[in-house]
Structure 1
Amino acid sequence: MKANFFIVVAFLAFISCKKENTNEENNKPVVKENFSMEIDVVVSKRDDFTLYFTEDNTVAFTGGNTKWVGVNGGNIDEKLLFELSTEKQPTNIRLDFGLNKLQDSVLIKNIKLVFYGKEIAIKGSQFFDWFIKDENFKYEIDEVNGTIKFVKTGNDWVTPYYYPRQEFTDRIKILTIAE
């Protein structure tokens, strides 16, 4: 009888230790093995944003290498997540902020690029440090809040789209190079 009691106690102790080890493993941060870009925005109207990318060091962006994400609108904070499949590794990125012709404004608070646990964080106010300005679009930069706002001018909304600066392309390469 005592032998059976000790076997049961030993078995329960083993199961308890096994559960503790499993929980310790689950507390490790999960490192995604793909490229992703997260953008914190506030948008007035429902819309679709697009991430164009190339993998050949050019800026020849095509519809074949895109990720689309819908935006709910309503002037609330939203996090947009563009995730590429594990076999995609961008060398250049272009961002398009909406197709909705009724769109009033797009406020960019932050942008974060992540690849295998490494990341680049960009405040909205630093947007033009990494992307080429297009004077066809009106924008307001708020250095205090770290944001940039694209504003509709006139009756027609033209999609604000931005190509990468060489400095940004260089940073993407550093981010995506295996160590």
Structure 2
Amino acid sequence: MKIRLFLVGLFASLSLISCKNSEEKAQDSTIAQETKPTNAFRVTLTAIIPNDDSFQLYYNQDGYEAPYKEENSIWKEMKGNTTPQDIVFDLPEDVIPSYLRLDFGTNENQKEVTIRNIKIEYLNKKFEARDGQFFNYFIPNESIKSTDKVTGKVVLGKKPDNSYDPLFYSEKALYDEIQKLLK
């Protein structure tokens, strides 16, 4: 009887250890899948956004003068926060952008945003522009009232026609950096 009880206990212990190892292997596999490189570009804007807002990234593959199309854009809803947060845009797989356009929201009560960093990743390569370096790669439209290249602060407002549409277009300098990621 004692031998049978011992064997049952031993079998139960081995089963539990085996199940635990299987769970750990499954978790390791999930982590590996989340971190493995894909053929997708990722654009991450790190910014202080005081009020809730919606941000939009447009991408084009047809050159600087080509229009930006709604079907080539990604929306992100953001909660207001006084600390920096990441706005992550994952482009569709195999899309290689030439130029980008960042729309800084639809909330007219958003008076300013502070840019801390923009990072573009493709496969295992990345490009980053911190704080004021952002302005070396992006041009504001008329809804951007002022920019501070030292602090990264962007003051938002309305255009002369009273419309609210703050955004930045990428310049050739960013196109050149994107090309480096492809090599």
Task: Judge same fold: TM > 0.5, yes or no.
Answer: yes
Which amino acid is 1:44 matched to? P
Displacement of 1:153: 7.0
2:75 is equivalent to residue 73 of structure 1:
no
Map Cα deviations across residues 93-130 of structure 1 (whole Å, 9 max, x no partner): 11110111221211111110001111110113112210
Structure 1 runs of 4+ aligned residues shifted over 6 Å read: 25-28
Contact kept in structure 1, 2:119 and 2:126, CA below 8 Å: yes
Displacement of 1:40: 0.8
Q: Identity of paired residues, percent?
A: 24
- In the alignment, the residues of structure 2 paired with residue 39 and residue 134 of structure 1 have an alpha-carbon distance, to the nearest angstrom, of 18
Instruction: Indicate the residue corresponding to 1:34 in structure 2.
Output: 40
Instruction: Indicate the residue corresponding to 1:97 in structure 2.
Output: 104
Instruction: Indicate the residue corresponding to 1:111 in structure 2.
Output: 118
- In the alignment, the residues of structure 2 paired with residue 64 and residue 98 of structure 1 have an alpha-carbon distance, to the nearest angstrom, of 18
TM-score, normalisation: structure 1: 0.74
Displacement of 1:32: 3.2
Contact kept in structure 2, 1:56 and 1:91, CA below 8 Å: yes
Map Cα deviations across residues 43-64 of structure 1 (whole Å, 9 max, x no partner): 1211111100111224310111
Map Cα deviations across residues 131-165 of structure 1 (whole Å, 9 max, x no partner): 1244552224252x5x23224479x6722111111
Report how many aligned residue pairs link the two structures: 164
Which amino acid is 1:160 matched to? P
Contact kept in structure 1, 2:144 and 2:154, CA below 8 Å: no
Unpaired runs of 5+ in structure 1? 1-14
1:50 equivalent among 56, 60, 69 = 56
Instruction: Indicate the residue corresponding to 1:148 in structure 2.
Output: 153
Contact kept in structure 1, 2:40 and 2:91, CA below 8 Å: yes
2:166 is equivalent to residue 160 of structure 1:
yes
Contact kept in structure 2, 1:103 and 1:157, CA below 8 Å: no
- In the alignment, the residues of structure 2 paired with residue 52 and residue 153 of structure 1 have an alpha-carbon distance, to the nearest angstrom, of 20
Which amino acid is 2:51 matched to? K
Instruction: Indicate the residue corresponding to 2:180 in structure 1.
Output: 174
Which amino acid is 2:54 matched to? D
Which amino acid is 2:60 matched to? T
- In the alignment, the residues of structure 1 paired with residue 37 and residue 110 of structure 2 have an alpha-carbon distance, to the nearest angstrom, of 36
Which amino acid is 1:98 matched to? G
Which amino acid is 2:169 matched to? Y
In the TM superposition, what are the counterparts of 1:125-144 in structure 2 within 5 Å? 125-134=132-141, 136-141=143-148, 143=150
TM-score, normalisation: structure 2: 0.72
- In the alignment, the residues of structure 1 paired with residue 84 and residue 99 of structure 2 have an alpha-carbon distance, to the nearest angstrom, of 27
